[in-house]
Amino acid sequence: MRQRYYIEDIGEYVNCEVTLEGWLTGKRSSGKILFLQFRDGTGFIQCVASKTDVGDEAFASADGLTVESSLIVTGVVKEDRRAPGGYELSVTGFKAVQVAEEYPIGRKEHGDAFLLDHRHLWIRSSRQFAILRIRATVISAARDYFDSRGYTMLDTPILTPAACEGTTTLFATDYFGESAYLTQSGQLYNEATAMAFGKVYCFGPALRAEKSKTRRHLTEFWQIEPEIAYADLGDIMDVQEELLSEIVARVLKDRARELGMLKRDTAVLARVQAPFPRVTYTEMVDLLSKNGVEFEWGNDFGADHETVMSRTFDRPFMVTHFPKSVKPFYMEIDPDDERLTLSVDMLAPEGYGEIVGGGQRVTDLATLERSIDEGALPRADYEWYVDLRRFGSVPHAGFGLGIERVVAWICGIHHLRETIPFPRMLNRLRP
Ligand code: 4AD
Ligand code: MG
């Protein structure tokens, strides 16, 4: 492939002439000088064209370019401390590839619905660029964490016959006359692959018919889910802590510019280092009541409770030993208190709430069968899963880290919808 130049590497070409292929994001003119705001997908740069350098005709045609016109610019890279990225391009020539029609997204404030309707264009903006580049780095850091530690990555199915995370959020679809559900989590299949490969993980979409509109819920989101044979609750808490620390460190190192574009306070992120605070569900309930929040032991925490809780700590923290009533059928019972499970949620600080959910799984055959029955789940659909307790059952544990929740918190943004290229929510299937 021919040599190509990208804005993110522009610092390597100071005083050299380079050609950049991209789009015009805006322009300003002062009669004899044109300032072209330009992006190429790896970054943003200002290109300065003077009439004397490019000639009258080229200058006039550049002046006629509209926002989001596609453009190939050639110029000499100049270091400039005042420029946002530290560099500027002194234009020697350019070629318009397509002159764009009037662009619907302007500098003025648009409503959420308008921007979401134009998500296919909205992703071009500098804020969305920063968020989605951070998302890509979060995913790559998470995968590198597992890949470099001997986990086998094994995909789990999207079309499934049974629920993993409760029957109320299932998306049903017709499967050749039979009813199938879109996966809510790869966990049950991870448990099977963990018994075959020891340490595994899957990375894929999770689909849940979330019927409430909240800033923390999408109907399609992505999880990275490890599962480890012969691991207990304490083991996976250590993994969660180490994984999240590594993800955050990687974003701080490789995406400092994007965090800067979002004006993120990185001091909070720099504090993300093990050990994270660990509290039990019961201690959390006491803490809530001390903060004047009414909460009955045995209930699940709602978004409002999580918000209060996650303002209490200055770094991510883990809540363990939730009551059986609020956790799914597969959670191992606490041998010290049968009302409790060996479960753990990790919550992000600054009011963000749950970012990871997991725990130790039921090992014993009879206990699992009872739990399936108590959950009124159809035994036949779980027979294969129950088999895992018939043939070499061992203690094992795992968790799911929600990519969008982690990205929202790292970026310090309010709503999950900006953390995924094309969000799916209640009332939002398009574009
Ligand atoms: O806590 P959850 O439901 O746990 C599971 O699915 C387990 N089976 C995972 C496992 O043990 N392998 O979901 C895991 C994480 C949550 O902590 C949250 O970060 C994210 O997935 N999540 C959502 N993210 C966006 N929108 C939603 N509707 C989400 N529901 C869960
Ligand atoms: Mg959860």
DSSP string, 125-155: SHHHHHHHHHHHHHHHHHHHHHHTTTPEE--
Burial (0-12, 13-18, 19+ Cβ within 10 Å), 307: middle
Ligand 1 pocket member 208 (CB < 6 A): yes
- Any ligand 1 atom below 6 A from CB of 317: no
pLDDT higher than 80, residue 107? no
Give per-residue pLDDT as tens, 195-245: 999 999 999 999 999 998 899 999 999 999 999 999 999 999 999 999 999
Instruction: State the pLDDT confidence band at 1, using cuts at 50, 70 and 90.
Output: confident
Contact 152, 199 (CB under 8 A): yes
- For residue 108, the model assigns a pLDDT of 82
Answer whether 400 contacts ligand 1 (Cβ < 6 A).
yes
pLDDT by residue (tens digit) across 368-395?
A: 999 999 999 999 999 999 999 999 999 9
Separation of CA 364 and ligand 1 centre (Å): 25
Contacts for 75-84: CB closer than 8 Å, 24+ residues apart: 75/17, 75/18, 75/20, 75/47, 76/15, 76/16, 76/17, 76/18, 77/10, 77/13, 77/14, 77/15, 77/16, 77/18, 78/14, 78/15, 79/14, 83/45, 83/46, 84/44, 84/46
Read off the pLDDT of residues 21-67 as tens digits, 9 standing for 90 and up.
999 999 999 889 999 999 999 999 999 999 998 899 889 888 889 99
Pick from 316, 391, 396: nearest CA to 353: 316
* 417 C-beta closer than 6 A to ligand 1: no
Q: What is the pLDDT of residue 179?
A: 93
Residue 356 Cα to ligand 1 middle (Å): 7
Q: Which residues contact 240 (CB under 8 A, 6 or more apart)?
A: 318, 344, 346, 356, 358, 399, 401
355 Cβ closer than 6 Å to some ligand 1 atom: yes
State the pLDDT at residue 255. 98
Given ligand 1 and candidates 212, 221, 360, which is best to mutate, with the most ligand atoms within 8 Å of its CB?
Answer: 221
Ligand 1 pocket check for 398: Cβ under 6 Å? yes
**223 within ligand 1 shell (Cβ under 6 A):** yes
- Mean pLDDT, range 106-132, rounded to an integer: 95
Q: Inform me whether the pLDDT recorded for 144 exceeds 80.
A: yes
In sequence order, the 6+-apart residues with CB closer than 8 A to the CB of 388 are 191, 192, 195
pLDDT at 63: 85
Per-residue pLDDT, 316: 97
Global pTM?
0.97
Question: What pLDDT sits at residue 212?
Answer: 85
Question: Which amino acid residue places its CA nearest to atom 27 of ligand 1?
Answer: 217
Average pLDDT over residues 266-282: 96
Give CA–CA dist 131/410, Å, rounded.
Answer: 9
What pLDDT, on a 0 to 100 scale, did the predictor assign at position 83?
Answer: 85
Distance CA 328, CA 157 (A): 20
Q: What is the pLDDT of residues 305-341, one digit of tens each?
A: 988 888 889 999 999 999 999 999 999 999 999 999 9
pLDDT > 70 in the chain, percent = 100
Mean pLDDT of 162-166: 91
> According to the model, what pLDDT value does residue 2 have?
84
Q: Is the pLDDT of residue 69 over 80?
A: yes
Q: Two tokens at 268?
A: 């909070």
Cα 206 to middle of ligand 1, angstroms? 8
Ligand 1 atom closest to Cα of 226? Answer: 12
Provide the pLDDT confidence category of residue 304 given band limits of 50, 70 and 90. Answer: confident
Judged by its nearest atom, the ligand closest to the C-alpha of residue 346 is 1
Q: With a cut of 80, say whether residue 303 has pLDDT above it.
A: yes
